[in-house]
Amino acid sequence: MNSSRATTPEQSGLTAVRINPTVGDNKWFSGQVTIHRSLDEIAPDHWNALVPEDSPILQHQFLTALERTGCVIPDTGWEPHHLAIYHANHLLAAMPCYLKYHSYGEYIFDWDWAHAYQQAGLNYYPKILLAIPFTPITGKRLLIHPDADIQFAGAALSTAARELAEKTSASSIHSLFTTSEDNETLKTVGFVPRRSNQFHWRNQGYRNFREFLAALNSKRRKNILRERRGMNSEGMTFRWLNGRETTTNDWSFFYSCYRTTIAEHGAIPYLNEAFFQLVGQTMPDGVRLLVASRQGHDIAAAFFLLGGRSLFGRYWGAIDRIPNLHFETCFYQ
């Protein structure tokens, strides 16, 4: 979803933006939306009370880890401007929000728009981004407490984003990987949908991997079985670890795999080792590390986030090349 508007970053710690939405019941609304320049300014339990159960990427611990470890800070082109609505010191609604000075780490590509702005003699950056850094996972962006008027709170946050764009000279506002419900709210304040496609795997009631294979046609089933036999012939073993079971060495090994594979593909390593070490500590039940070993020697690893109903595969890497190891580590296991 995108909207246009724009005007200089305010460098104060907190800024109150006055808005006057015209929808819904505003008996609990003071007329102000607070801008937090760091998520550490919001109590973790208050923020997490707004987060859906299947959204580990929205958890306070995940987002603050990005900030605390220097992955999402002004020096990397990400300025946190998280929007929050309070009533009697209680957080009733919020939205992750960033002032961006580039388009890296978004997984939605708007370089053509930036080029068009440049050709017209206009500044495309900064822009406002309502999203989770480096994470192309669909989910809520308008986080609203069930006690609040959902329609009104969503409109208030969205309108505040537009006013923030004006105050910061942002060219536009982009809300990425939003739910259909959030899209409907954003459209009421002038956002325009932009469509893209993702592929999601959903369990169709399979109780085990064998039942999944049985649902495939013969050719695909044989291909997967052949790939998995190759893993056995290589002497591959795999072990799952949660955050409580991982050690500092486990995360260091994973990061070396991550950096190796990133470099092989000429990509940018947006995350540092400190981030993975930290989320392993602060989200021990919400992270999973899968380590692949060949004849007792670790050679690959994959990082997952665990929600209430879903497992989100995020990063993987290997320090040795074995055919089909990526599929086994990231999918079949």
User: Over the stretch 296-330, which tens digit does the pLDDT of each residue have?
Assistant: 999 999 999 999 999 999 999 999 989 999 999 99
Domain annotation covers residue 213: no
Shared domain check, 243 and 182: no
Average pLDDT of the residues in 209-235: 94
| ω into 126 cis (within 30 of 0) | yes
Structure tokens at 327: 């599929």
- 3-state helix/strand/coil string of 124-190: CCCEEEECCCCCCCCECCCEECCCCCHHHHHHHHHHHHHHHHHHCCCCEEEECCECHHHHHHHHCCC
Q: In the structure, what pLDDT confidence band is assigned to residue 32 with cuts at 50, 70 and 90?
A: confident
The Cα 212–Cα 195 span in angstroms is 30
pLDDT above 80 (res 10): no
Same-domain status, 240 and 143: no
- Residue 12: what pLDDT? 33
Confidence category of residue 38, pLDDT binned at 50, 70, 90 = very high
Do 92 and 183 share a structural domain?
Answer: yes
The CA distance from 260 to 84, in Å, is: 39
One domain, residues 155 and 261:
no
Taking 50 as the threshold, does the pLDDT of residue 94 lie above it? yes
The count of structural domains within the chain is 2
pLDDT of residue 20 exceeding 60, the answer is: no
The boundaries of the domain holding residue 327 are: 234-332
CATH assignment of the domain containing 300: 3.40.630.30
Q: Element (H or E) spanning 67, and its range?
A: helix 60-68
Helix (H, G, I), strand (E, B) or coil at 10: coil
175 with 249, same domain: the answer is: no
